Structure 1
Amino acid sequence: HSTNEYSIIEGKNLTSYDFNNIGSSILISEDFADRYFPDGEAIGDIIDISGYPMKVKGIYKNPDDEIVLNTNQAILPLNLYQNVYKSSTIDNIEVEAYDTETIEKAGTAATEVLNRNLGEEYTGQFEVLDLEELQKGITGLTTTMTFLIGGIASISLLVAGIGVMNIMLVTVTERTNEIGIRKALGATRRVIMFQFLVESSMLTLIGGVLGIILAYSMITILSMVFNWAILISPWLIVIAVMFLVLFGILCGILPANKAAKLVPVEALRRE
């Protein structure tokens, strides 16, 4: 296991002597040291791994910006590992390129060498896993989930819009006499239309604010239960509120237009 990507925070790193000879020196992770050596006296101590006494030579820490693909808690020289576990196999090999432009070439060259050493009957036995391919997979999954959630949200929004429109149409029908009286007293078509547009936008705004409060409460509870870190952008909430007002206006155009077109005499005749 290469130790180039690890930072030694206490003690010493493994040397070429440790890797070329069957010794007993190992490195342990910072998490391992904190868990089993709370007093901080891990360096030089002897621990038992699979019945073999091993001396802690150093404590390492993963880089803060590293994506950890495994949960290794100790680093052993290859010879020591094979002697302890009576195995000569190697599960994986990490290859480090000089720069980002040569990553793909380095991976291809490494697999060609490994597969060629196995023989023609084992062609394709080894594969390369790089972070770029992993990122593409995660990005594809995220995009799919975004479209799925967006589709569900769009359907919910359409149903909500139809509901708001129906409520406003019923309101216009029930308040026909009121509309007739207001128009008879001099209310213009623009005033009547503005009144119902404000009512429809307030209806969607109140419902949206309640939904935001409920969503924030549920997210906070889940973050406390599962110890998740949450990040909510205030700008997204502002944009959502503005969109709700606009959505309410759009849903209220038809009912407001219907109310504005009522003739005062006919409106006063209805009960």
Structure 2
Amino acid sequence: MKIVVIGGTGLIGSNVVKRLRDNGHEVVAASPGTGVNTLTGAGLANALKGAQVVVDVSNSPSFEDQAVMEFFQTSGRNLLAAEVEAGVEHHVALSVVGTDRLPDSGYFRAKVAQEKLIKASKVPYTILRATQFFEFVEGIVKSGADGDAIRLSPALIQPIASDDVAAAIADLAAGAPLNGTTEVAGPDHFPLDELARKFLASRGDQREVIADVHARYFGSELDDRSLVASDHPRIGPTRFQNWLSRASA
């Protein structure tokens, strides 16, 4: 089966490409660096020729509100139109758990817009919503920097290893379209401030982490449902402490 992975050279995409190739599929790793640009449409038609499945794990280079909305809307429209033209049978997209629960975040509003485009398209689809990656915890900690301390919400988060997300995407890409949304999450729930303390301790960073219920997470205040999966998600096997140990080593 020919599968095109949009964003196929990034953190998730390169992992998905390897998994699918190891399983015997013909895989195209598509990105601006390989001559495929979903914003301009350059290279799309040629990349999608003969493809049965398209996996979209691309991400906006800017998280500024207007820029990220323009990226997901323009990229989504161009990609889905090209898929219709090419006769693609299954569109698989990576989204984020909590997308529809955090309307104050420009990034999450843009992901909602992307999901709406996918659902309105003629292409059969599967949307996988994932919780935040372990690899992004450092960025979350930096976002909460307040002088010499870190100020973060104590709301629950259910982070996951990017490798486990890639495994879920590869499985979905090889299967039939769900024409719906499914979720994948890590095995453990943590208060966000506690997660930050664990991360900082692994780095020998002694900065204080302050729990603040009003601390915003990329523009939004959180509650205990904001960043955790709904009932019965797929659960990745990698625990945060084990990932931290490997990352530190």
The question of a shared fold, defined as TM-score above 0.5 by the shorter chain, is answered with: no
Q: Report the TM-score range of the alignment, normalised by the length of the smaller protein.
A: under 0.3
TM-score for both structures, normalised by structure 1: 0.19
Structure having the higher strand fraction is 2
The structure whose Rg is larger is: 1
Structure having the higher helix fraction is 1
TM-score for both structures, normalised by structure 2: 0.21
